[in-house]
């Protein structure tokens, strides 16, 4: 009977390793995400945790690398820093790692919002200013920028558009 228990434990460990390798081959995932995946596959925590720890030791699971990659990707989508941090928190990444990863963002939220608004306003320049302001506000806030930052970015973009129009008249 005991050998049967060892065999099933070994089988569960092998299943856990296979699941982790498969998941990591698809995309980088945090250790918490992988723990949840193993739990959903009905791998007991007493088997899953040592396997995950081993993967961390050999460098196959690296929460900091996952967070940095995620921050890099999201910042190219012009997302606010607090939104990126929130999304990482939902992925189960530790606060210290989130802070370390988001510190690599080169620009402040205001600078990012200004760039986004200036780029977006070009497609709205034929609309009334009130409509432009409303659309830009919604656009920026969906990316996680506060009302204050969004308002300043909108003013920045509208002023830039007006200056651009004056130069061409």
Please state the pTM of the whole predicted model: 0.76
Residues of the chain with pLDDT under 50: 1-3, 166-169
What would the pLDDT profile of 48-90 be if each residue is shown by its tens digit?
Answer: 999 999 999 999 999 999 999 999 998 888 899 999 999 999 9
The H-or-E segment that residue 61 falls in is none
The answer to whether residues 43 and 16 touch, using CB atoms and an 8 Å cutoff, is yes
Dist CA 70 CA 147 (whole Å): 25
Dist CA 169 CA 158 (whole Å): 17
Domain ranges of the chain: 2-61, 64-102, 109-168
Assigned token pair, 106: 């080169």
The H-or-E segment that residue 93 falls in is none
Per-residue pLDDT at 8: 84
* Domain range 2-61, CATH architecture: Orthogonal Bundle (1.10)
């Amino acid at each position: 009977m005991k050998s049967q228990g060892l065999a099933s434990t070994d089988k569960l460990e092998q299943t856990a390793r296979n699941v982790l390798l498969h998941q990591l081959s698809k995309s980088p995932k945090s250790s918490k995400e992988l723990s949840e995946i193993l739990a959903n596959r009905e791998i007991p925590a007493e088997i899953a945790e040592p396997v995950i720890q081993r993967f961390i030791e050999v460098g196959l699971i690296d929460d900091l690398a996952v967070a940095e990659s995620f921050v890099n990707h999201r910042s190219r989508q012009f997302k606010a820093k607090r939104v990126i941090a929130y999304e990482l928190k939902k992925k189960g990444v530790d606060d210290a790692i989130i802070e370390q990863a988001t510190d690599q963002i080169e620009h402040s939220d205001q600078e990012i919002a200004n760039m986004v608004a200036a780029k977006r306003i070009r497609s709205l320049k034929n609309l009334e200013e009130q409509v432009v302001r409303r659309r830009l506000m919604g656009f920026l806030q969906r990316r996680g920028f506060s009302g204050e930052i969004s308002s300043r970015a909108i003013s920045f973009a509208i002023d830039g558009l007006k200056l651009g129009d004056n130069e061409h008249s």
